[in-house]
Homo-oligomer: A and B are copies of this chain.
Amino acid sequence: MKQVSYISLSVLAVAIVACERSSEADAQLNTHVVAASDSAISFSDTVRKLAEKIDAQLGDQIVVPMPKDAGGGYTHEQHKRNAKTIYEAGKLYEFTGDDRYAKHVEKLLLAYADMYPSLDLHPAKKEQSPGRLFWQNLNESWWLVYTIQGYDSVKETLSADAREKIENDLLREVSKFLSQGSPETFNKIHNHGTWATAAVGMTGYVIGDNDLVEQALLGLDKSGDYGFLKQLDELFSPDGYYNEGPYYQRYALMPFVLFGQAIEQNEPEREIFNYRDGILIKAIYATIQQNYGGLFFPINDAIKDKDIATVELQYGVAIAYDLTGDPGLLAVAKAQGQVVPTKGGKKLADAIARGKAEPFAYTPMRLRDGALGDQGALDILRASTDPNDLTVVAKNTSQGLGHGHFDKLGLLVYDAGHEIIRDYGAARFVNVEAKFGGHYLPENNSFAKQTIAHNALVVDETSHFNGSTNEGNQNAPELGAFFTSDSLQATSAAITTAYDDVELRRTVAMIKDAAFAKPVIVDLVEGLSDSQHQYDLPYYYNGQLVETNFDIEADPTSRRPLGGENGYQHLWHVGESGVVNDIAQITWLLDRKFYSVTSSVPENTKVIVAEIGANDPNFNLRREPAFIFRTQSDEGVSFASVIEPHGEYNPTVEYTVNSHSTVKSVDHYKSDTASVVMIESKAGQKVGLGIGRVNDDTIEHSVMVDGEAFVWTGPYKIFHSQNHFDGGK
Instruction: Report how far A630 CA is from B487 CA in the complex, Å.
Output: 59
**Cβ–Cβ < 8 Å partners of A429 in chain B:** 544, 546, 589, 649
On whether A560 and B558 interact (CB within 8 A), knowing A430-B656, A651-B430, the answer reads yes
Instruction: Report how far A559 CA is from B303 CA in the complex, Å.
Output: 29
On whether A652 and B306 interact (CB within 8 A), knowing A432-B589, A559-B558, A622-B544, the answer reads yes
Distance of A607 from chain B, by nearest CB (Å): 13
On whether A652 and B309 interact (CB within 8 A), knowing A556-B616, A558-B560, the answer reads yes
**Cβ–Cβ < 8 Å partners of A616 in chain B:** 554, 556
The answer to whether B659 touches A433 (Cβ under 8 A) is yes
Instruction: Convert A415-457 into 0s and 1s, putting 1 for each residue whose CB lies closer than 8 angstroms to a CB of B.
Output: 0000000000000011111110010000000000000000000
Instruction: Report how far A311 CA is from B650 CA in the complex, Å.
Output: 12
Stretch among A28-36, A97-105, A315-323, A392-400 lining the B interface: A28-36
**Cβ–Cβ < 8 Å partners of A660 in chain B:** 433-434
Distance of A257 from chain B, by nearest CB (Å): 17
A380-415 residues with Cβ-Cβ distance < 8 A to B are: none
Instruction: Convert A519-562 into 0s and 1s, putting 1 for each residue whose CB lies closer than 8 angstroms to a CB of B.
Output: 00000000000000000000000001111000010101111110
Instruction: Report how far A309 CA is from B546 CA in the complex, Å.
Output: 25
The reply on A623 being an interface residue by CB < 8 A is yes
Instruction: Report how far A432 CA is from B433 CA in the complex, Å.
Output: 43
Instruction: Tell me which of A611, A616, A623, A652 has the highest count of chain B C-beta atoms within 10 A of its own C-beta.
Output: A652
The answer to whether A652 touches B557 (Cβ under 8 A) is no
Instruction: Report how far A243 CA is from B606 CA in the complex, Å.
Output: 49
The reply on A373 being an interface residue by CB < 8 A is no
The answer to whether B307 touches A652 (Cβ under 8 A) is yes
Distance of A141 from chain B, by nearest CB (Å): 17
A636-654 residues with Cβ-Cβ distance < 8 A to B are: 649-654
Instruction: Report how far A577 CA is from B438 CA in the complex, Å.
Output: 24
The answer to whether A547 touches B307 (Cβ under 8 A) is no
The reply on A587 being an interface residue by CB < 8 A is yes
**Cβ–Cβ < 8 Å partners of A592 in chain B:** 34
A648-696 residues with Cβ-Cβ distance < 8 A to B are: 649-656, 659-660
The reply on A310 being an interface residue by CB < 8 A is yes
Distance of A191 from chain B, by nearest CB (Å): 16
Distance of A626 from chain B, by nearest CB (Å): 13
Instruction: Report how far A619 CA is from B35 CA in the complex, Å.
Output: 37
Q: B303, B434, B589, B651: which contacts A546 (Cβ < 8 A)?
A: B434
Instruction: Report how far A433 CA is from B309 CA in the complex, Å.
Output: 41
The reply on A707 being an interface residue by CB < 8 A is no
The reply on A305 being an interface residue by CB < 8 A is yes
Instruction: Report how far A488 CA is from B623 CA in the complex, Å.
Output: 37
Q: Which residue of B lies closest to A31 (CB)?
A: B653
**Cβ–Cβ < 8 Å partners of A589 in chain B:** 429, 432
The answer to whether A546 touches B435 (Cβ under 8 A) is yes
On whether A310 and B653 interact (CB within 8 A), knowing A556-B614, A558-B559, A617-B554, the answer reads yes
Instruction: Convert A597-618 into 0s and 1s, putting 1 for each residue whose CB lies closer than 8 angstroms to a CB of B.
Output: 0000000000001010011111
Distance of A69 from chain B, by nearest CB (Å): 17
The answer to whether A311 touches B653 (Cβ under 8 A) is yes
The answer to whether B434 touches A659 (Cβ under 8 A) is yes
**Cβ–Cβ < 8 Å partners of A123 in chain B:** none
Instruction: Tell me which of A30, A34, A545, A653 has the highest count of chain B C-beta atoms within 10 A of its own C-beta.
Output: A653
Instruction: Report how far A651 CA is from B34 CA in the complex, Å.
Output: 10
The reply on A228 being an interface residue by CB < 8 A is no
Instruction: Report how far A672 CA is from B406 CA in the complex, Å.
Output: 64
**Cβ–Cβ < 8 Å partners of A617 in chain B:** 552, 554, 556, 575
Instruction: Report how far A650 CA is from B309 CA in the complex, Å.
Output: 11
The reply on A285 being an interface residue by CB < 8 A is no
Distance of A645 from chain B, by nearest CB (Å): 16
Instruction: Convert A9-31 into 0s and 1s, putting 1 for each residue whose CB lies closer than 8 angstroms to a CB of B.
Output: 00000000000000000000010
Instruction: Report how far A34 CA is from B591 CA in the complex, Å.
Output: 13
Instruction: Report how far A511 CA is from B557 CA in the complex, Å.
Output: 42
**Cβ–Cβ < 8 Å partners of A32 in chain B:** 650, 653, 655
**Cβ–Cβ < 8 Å partners of A134 in chain B:** none
The answer to whether B659 touches A432 (Cβ under 8 A) is yes
The answer to whether A619 touches B545 (Cβ under 8 A) is yes
**Cβ–Cβ < 8 Å partners of A30 in chain B:** 653
The answer to whether B623 touches A655 (Cβ under 8 A) is no
Instruction: Report how far A305 CA is from B593 CA in the complex, Å.
Output: 13
Instruction: Convert A287-314 into 0s and 1s, putting 1 for each residue whose CB lies closer than 8 angstroms to a CB of B.
Output: 0000000000000000111110111000
The reply on A572 being an interface residue by CB < 8 A is yes
Instruction: Report how far A432 CA is from B546 CA in the complex, Å.
Output: 8
**Cβ–Cβ < 8 Å partners of A434 in chain B:** 546-547, 587, 659-660
The answer to whether B652 touches A34 (Cβ under 8 A) is yes
Q: B304, B546, B561, B623: which contacts A623 (Cβ < 8 A)?
A: B623
Distance of A604 from chain B, by nearest CB (Å): 23
A570-601 residues with Cβ-Cβ distance < 8 A to B are: 572, 575, 587, 589, 592
The answer to whether B656 touches A438 (Cβ under 8 A) is yes
**Cβ–Cβ < 8 Å partners of A609 in chain B:** 619
Distance of A27 from chain B, by nearest CB (Å): 18
**Cβ–Cβ < 8 Å partners of A623 in chain B:** 611, 623, 625
9 additional contacts (CB under 8 A) given A32-B653, A307-B651: A32-B650, A429-B649, A431-B655, A431-B656, A433-B656, A554-B617, A554-B619, A558-B560, A623-B625
* Top-3 shortest CB links A-B: A431-B656, A434-B547, A559-B559
24 intermolecular pairs with C-beta atoms under 8 Å apart: A30-B653, A32-B650, A32-B653, A34-B592, A34-B650, A35-B652, A306-B654, A429-B546, A429-B649, A432-B546, A433-B660, A434-B546, A434-B587, A434-B659, A438-B656, A544-B619, A545-B619, A557-B560, A557-B561, A558-B558, A558-B560, A609-B619, A611-B623, A623-B623
